[in-house]
Amino acid sequence: MDEGIRVEVPTISDALYLMMALRGFPAKLVDGNDGPEVEVRPIPRAEHVQSILTTAANWLADRELDSTRIHVSGSAFRLEPEAGRLRRRAIPAQA
């Protein structure tokens, strides 16, 4: 998965916490259109995507955040802490 996954984060502190949780994956802080994002790229194997999403969902719960936006393959999804499940909503992807 060459394009990776981007996770929108509310603060730099939240980004650092998520990056620590994603240890073992190539995560870095990047500037997104609406603020900071943590980008995981490249993803070594396709089956790692679920692990990354579960880690992000656990991060949401640990930081007591309601949800965040995840960018995958040119589409945006809302991720909520409940069981790490992606919930698709009408969120336009931004290039």
* Residue-wise pLDDT tens digits, 54-79: 999 999 999 989 999 999 888 899 99
Q: Are 38 and 28 in contact (CB under 8 A)?
A: yes
pTM of the model: 0.80
Q: What is the mean pLDDT of residues 39-46?
A: 86
Query: Rounded distance, CA 33 to CA 30, Å?
Result: 10
Q: Given this model, what pLDDT does residue 58 score? A: 92
Q: pLDDT (tens digit, 9 = 90+) per residue, 16-40?
A: 999 999 999 999 999 988 899 999 9
